[in-house]
Structure 1
Amino acid sequence: MNVCTRYQCETCETLIDCRIGFSNREVQPLQFACPECGERISFTLGSNDLEGATEIKEFKAPFTGENVFIDLHLDFPTRFGEYKQGDTTFMHVVSEIGQESFADLSRRLELLNQLGEHHRTLKRLASQYMKGNVKGFEKVIKSLEKLEFIKLKSHKAQDVIAALYSATSIMSSPLTVYEHSKELSSEMPKVLLSLYTDHQDNLNEFFDSLLSTGFLKNVHHETLSLYPKLIKLEVPLRPALYYDYKAEEFGNVPARVSTTNFESCNNVYKDLAEVYSRQLVLVAGLNNLIKRGDFNKFSAEVLLNKKGHLIKDFTSLDKYADVDLGRKLAALDDCFFKLEEEAIDNQLRNGIAHYKYNYDEATQIITYSSAKEGLNRDKTIKISLMEFLRKMLLLFREVHCLNHIIKALLFHSVLILKRPV
């Protein structure tokens, strides 16, 4: 279903013709910026909460092209340009990706609808687990019986962990690629078994360092805390899923997002990058064990500088943990886990973390800098909000994959080493 309406910006009085496609989501918040002055115009379908503009209810249809035209849809990229009768966003998307892909995308969007309704409960599920409150954890699970995906067999540590990972699996499933997760999840127990057979003493020392310092528990909880944050952002992430089925051709006039702005979601990207950086410590330790039988031993190519001197940051896993993200990635030689290079943009992460960015709400263009330039900010990079949301989606997928390494380490600790986490 679609409706056509006309808005007049409260700031500059520009007339904006708008066609709105309906999503299956119960609550549909939409927003866009006036193309002339940048005023944010927002509303929720079916509610009288319009801000930033006045709706012109009496106008002659169809649109004739004398005003700016916007095609709005909660689930798909926003389109600006020429109005064409019948060429709705829904019809455009189906023609672009095909019926089969559209059916799969619709399934994922419907699951996001369900998860979004239970966001607060899923957040409580994570918080009760992190508090170690098994009874509270069980109570929250029972309140989610409608979703039919989480079961708690007993209060044993391994069963609690299993129930938790059932929850993270379903929370992530609309946003991730199942095949990637399945591959790592099935391979990690084999990796640990091989290391337990060939390098048992050093593997045990590796676990000693992770458990005695609380590092494994901390990074486990940090990773877990991200899942409810992504579910909370399910509305702006919806149109980014479209590019799973279509090549990312953003073009000179980028596709836009109908429901959010950069400031509302940039900190989640920063959080994802921080946790990803911490997860890489586990990857590095395991990679060192696989390649050299010692979790503290990095390759000679990484360990020595051009003059042949030791680089102290890579003399142990403990020191490696303090290295910045870019250098962490470079130190992983021929890694057993295939890192997705497009998943992390360290310059973007630094730009957000140090508040070195500008956001143009009308064009949805983010301009950021991560260089140390003193008073200047000459070296800048531009990306669209849609590109940013794709980066966030890809980084979450990477974090989720690495969470399967954490899961394997937890089960090894509880079942093999008989040690609580």
Structure 2
Amino acid sequence: MNTNMTMTCKVCNEDTDCRIGYSNREIQPLSFACPHCGSLMRITLDISDAPESKFSFESCRPSDNQPRRMFDGSNPFVDLHLDFPVRFGEYVPGLTPFMYASQELHDDENPMMGVLKMQFHNERLNQLNYFHNKADEIKTIIRLYGGNNKQLFKKRVSDFLERDQGPSLKPQDLNATLYQFLSFVFLPFVNFGEVKDVVDGFSDLSVKLPKPALGRFVDAIVKAGFLANLQKDCLKIYPEIYHAEMALRPALFLDLKGDYEKAKTAARISTKDFQSYKDLYKDIVEVFGRQLILIAGINNIIKRGDFEDFKKVDGGALSSLEKFAAKTLSDKFKYLDDCFYNIDKDAVDAGVRNSIAHNNVHYDEVTQLIRYYPNGGGISQTAGETMYFLDFMRMILVLFREMHNLHHLIKILFYFEFLILEKDRQGRKE
């Protein structure tokens, strides 16, 4: 279903034609920058009493000059939809965001494939609607894991999953409950098959690696408190993903496009803007950079038998894992020689991260174009680089998936500590 209406900006009093596509979410906050003055115009669609729909407006109002049938092209035109990338420009009757998305997924050789992909996207959206309404409860349960009342944590997870988690408060059983909860709640954002392969790979490694070498590595990062602190840092990210859920919906749709290339099309997002999410990307990058310390230690064991034995780079080698931790993100990759873990090349853009960290970013609200300056923002500022807001949200999604995958490595290493090293310690005491 779609509604056409002409909106008047309360800042400049100019009109914009809008076609509003309906999502399956009860409350649908939509927004766009006025093409005339750049002010943010907000429209909220409420379908909680469907088939009746209600609209509320902020910084704009329905124009006194509403179209009688179709838009005539006298005003700028915008498409709005929570679930799909949208395009501004010329109004084409019937070419709604849903229809445009369906065309992009169509395969002449296998017409049913596009239908199945759209059904899959709709299933994920339904999951997002369900979990978004429980976002506060999800955040509370994650917080309880780090608290002192472990019984309450297990009870809340049992109630949420409608599956008894058992009475055991052993560390390995609490860990199992945590990861079962995260896997269920964040399923709409991840690739289940990929996660399974990653977990299986990490589990195999923990068995195949030399036990003494892996034991020294795990013992070192556990005693230093690094592994526990890293897990806490990961857990802080998860609730923020549901706060970004609406802006991630069009990015999720891009999963279904096999030919998606960043910044090739000026597709847009119909809710909030870059400023709302730039710190989220920076925070996930920071956590991911620390997760690479685990990757480096294991990679060193695989290649050279010791977690602190690095390959030589530029004629020298790092003397410790602590030295690796102090390296910049881009430098860290240099020391992961022929790495056992394949890091998604689209997961991290150090230039974007550095630009955000140093506030060397300009955002055009009307075009949703981000211009960033990886080399700094001096007086003679360079031309910089560009991407669209949709591309940026796609980067957040891909990076979150990488962080989530590596969070399972933390789980595996904790299991090694709980079930192998602790058992050995107990055996020596006896």
Q: How far 1:143 moved relative to its partner?
A: 4.3
Aligned residue number for residue 111 of structure 2: none
Distance 2:295 2:264 in 1: 38
Task: Describe the SS at the equivalent of 2:362.
Answer: strand
Distance 1:151 1:61 in 2: 58
Greater shift in the superposed pair: 164-173 or 359-368: 164-173
1:160-179 equivalences in 2 (<5 Å): 160-179=174-193
Greater shift in the superposed pair: 56-65 or 160-169: 56-65
Q: How far 1:369 moved relative to its partner?
A: 1.2
1:289-308 equivalences in 2 (<5 Å): 289-300=301-312, 302=313, 305=314, 308=315
Aligned residue number for residue 231 of structure 1: 242
The answer to whether the 8 Å contact 1:350/1:370 transfers is: yes
Gaps (5+ residues) in structure 2? 47-53, 106-113, 426-430
Aligned residue number for residue 77 of structure 1: 85
1:52 maps to amino acid: S
| Per-residue deviation, residues 260-293 of structure 1 (Å, max 9, x unmatched) | 1111011110011000000000000000001111
Distance 1:124 1:240 in 2: 27
Distance 1:387 1:257 in 2: 10
1:349 maps to amino acid: R
Choose from 111, 115, 135 the match for 2:127: 111
2:101 maps to amino acid: V
Aligned residue number for residue 276 of structure 1: 288
1:355-394 equivalences in 2 (<5 Å): 355-372=359-376, 374-394=378-398
Greater shift in the superposed pair: 134-143 or 91-100: 134-143
1:11 maps to amino acid: V
1:35-184 equivalences in 2 (<5 Å): 35-46=35-46, 49-56=56-63, 58-97=66-105, 98-145=114-161, 148=162, 151-152=165-166, 154-184=168-198
| Per-residue deviation, residues 236-257 of structure 1 (Å, max 9, x unmatched) | 0001111111122566651111
Q: How far 1:87 moved relative to its partner?
A: 2.1
The answer to whether the 8 Å contact 2:263/2:387 transfers is: no
The answer to whether the 8 Å contact 1:171/1:231 transfers is: no
Q: Relative to 1, partners in 2 of residues 1:21 and 1:374: Cα closer, same or farther, differing over 3 Å? A: closer
2:293 maps to amino acid: V
The answer to whether the 8 Å contact 1:77/1:255 transfers is: yes
The answer to whether the 8 Å contact 2:154/2:177 transfers is: no
1:194 aligns with 2:208: yes
The answer to whether the 8 Å contact 1:78/1:257 transfers is: yes
Task: Describe the SS at the equivalent of 2:68.
Answer: coil
TM-score by length of 1: 0.92
Q: Relative to 1, partners in 2 of residues 1:176 and 1:44: Cα closer, same or farther, differing over 3 Å? A: same
Aligned residue number for residue 330 of structure 1: 334
Aligned residue number for residue 49 of structure 2: none
Q: How far 1:65 moved relative to its partner?
A: 1.6
The answer to whether the 8 Å contact 1:152/1:160 transfers is: no
Count, aligned residues: 407
| Per-residue deviation, residues 121-163 of structure 1 (Å, max 9, x unmatched) | 1111111111242123124224424xx4784553222221111
The answer to whether the 8 Å contact 2:296/2:336 transfers is: yes
Distance 1:331 1:414 in 2: 29
Task: Describe the SS at the equivalent of 1:271.
Answer: helix
Q: How far 1:43 moved relative to its partner?
A: 2.1
Distance 1:150 1:73 in 2: 39
The answer to whether the 8 Å contact 1:149/1:167 transfers is: no
1:137 maps to amino acid: F
| Per-residue deviation, residues 160-196 of structure 1 (Å, max 9, x unmatched) | 111110121123321111121111101212111111x
Aligned residue number for residue 203 of structure 1: 214
What is the RMSD computed on CA atoms of the aligned residues? 1.9
Aligned residue number for residue 230 of structure 2: 219
| Per-residue deviation, residues 324-367 of structure 1 (Å, max 9, x unmatched) | 11111121001110111111000100111111111111111111
Distance 2:128 2:224 in 1: 37
Percent identical among aligned pairs is: 39
Greater shift in the superposed pair: 50-59 or 330-339: 50-59
Greater shift in the superposed pair: 41-50 or 65-74: 41-50
Aligned residue number for residue 9 of structure 1: 9
Distance 1:13 1:152 in 2: 62
| Per-residue deviation, residues 53-112 of structure 1 (Å, max 9, x unmatched) | 121264422212221111111111122122232222222222321211000111111111
Distance 2:71 2:32 in 1: 19
Q: Relative to 1, partners in 2 of residues 1:372 and 1:232: Cα closer, same or farther, differing over 3 Å? A: closer
Aligned residue number for residue 269 of structure 2: 257
Q: Relative to 1, partners in 2 of residues 1:142 and 1:172: Cα closer, same or farther, differing over 3 Å? A: closer
Aligned residue number for residue 319 of structure 1: 323
1:286 aligns with 2:298: yes
Task: Describe the SS at the equivalent of 1:29.
Answer: strand
TM-score by length of 2: 0.90
